[in-house]
Amino acid sequence: MTSIVSSRVTNKTHYARLGHATQNLLPRFLQEVLFRYENPLHIYSTCKGNYQLYKYFLKSADWTKINEAVTTASFRNFDVPLIYTILRNVHNTTLMPTRKWDNKIDPLPHKTNTGDDLERCRRTRNKIIHRGNTEVSDQELKNYFDEFRGIAGRLQVICNKKNNEFVTEFEDLRTCCMDEETERKYLEDIEEWRQRSLEYEDQISQLKEHLAGKF
């Protein structure tokens, strides 16, 4: 994380940190988790061979990323929703969260299997992107980063990372200096991600209504 000298820290700066955490750090770490389960060279055939993914859940933009993964042998363009969707559908039994997928209650703090952390990543990302208030208090920032730290600590073990690599990146982001231009860019990115997410959720809602009508 690049540090640029600035003593100015505002509640919007906190929100910018959260945006960077959920849209850059979490996806990058989850890309490595996905790599433990899937080979990027075969990800197209894997997804196409899964009826739910192929028929309902993957959008054209997702298939573009999936094709890029085969070409580049990398998941570097995969975001949290796409990784979550693939792992949930392809490895449903292996990665089932303690309370199963989409439970109304968030994963309990002492439930820490990989599926629980996948749920935490998805839910935390959505809470941050969809919160109407961009003002994040010091206590809120601490609470979020405490959770990030716990998730990172467990994911780095799965990915065989040394020297506390994932946790250190969150700790650096939490305390680094951030200039106004960087903050503004992160805030603009969050708004763009929010709009995309709203469009995606609308598509999913329509899909669920369609599926409900079939049964």
Contact criterion met (CB below 8 Å) for 57 and 85: yes
Q: What pLDDT is attached to residue 192?
A: 78
Of 6, 14, 4, the C-alpha closest to 174 is: 14
Q: How far is CA 199 from CA 22, 59, 80, 120, 204, in A?
A: 18, 11, 16, 22, 9
**Token pair 């303690």 is at which residue?**
98
pLDDT for 203 equals 54
Q: Which two tokens stand for residue 99?
A: 């309370």
Q: Which class for 77: exposed (0-12), middle (13-18), buried (19 or more C-beta within 10 A)?
A: middle
Q: What is the mean pLDDT of each run of 10 residues along the chain (215 residues)?
A: 46 89 95 98 98 92 97 97 96 95 93 96 91 86 96 96 95 88 80 67 56 55
Amino acid 200: pLDDT: 55
CB-neighbour burial class of residue 170 (10 A; exposed 0-12, middle 13-18, buried 19+): buried
DSSP 73-90: T--TT--HHHHHHHHHHH
- 80-90 vs 26-37: helix crossing angle, rounded to 10: 30
Nearest to 87 by CA among 151, 37, 49, 124: 37
Query: Which residue intervals of the chain are DSSP H helices?
Result: 11-20, 26-37, 43-48, 51-52, 60-72, 80-90, 114-130, 138-158, 165-175, 180-214
Rg (CA), the chain: 18
Report d(CA 68, CA 73) in Å as an integer.
Answer: 8
Q: How high is the pLDDT of residue 9?
A: 58
pLDDT at site 4? 37
If we measure between CA atoms, which residue out of 42, 118, 36 comes closest to residue 82? 118
Which residues make Cβ contacts (< 8 Å) with residue 4, sequence separation at least 6? 177, 178, 179, 182
pLDDT of residue 205: 59
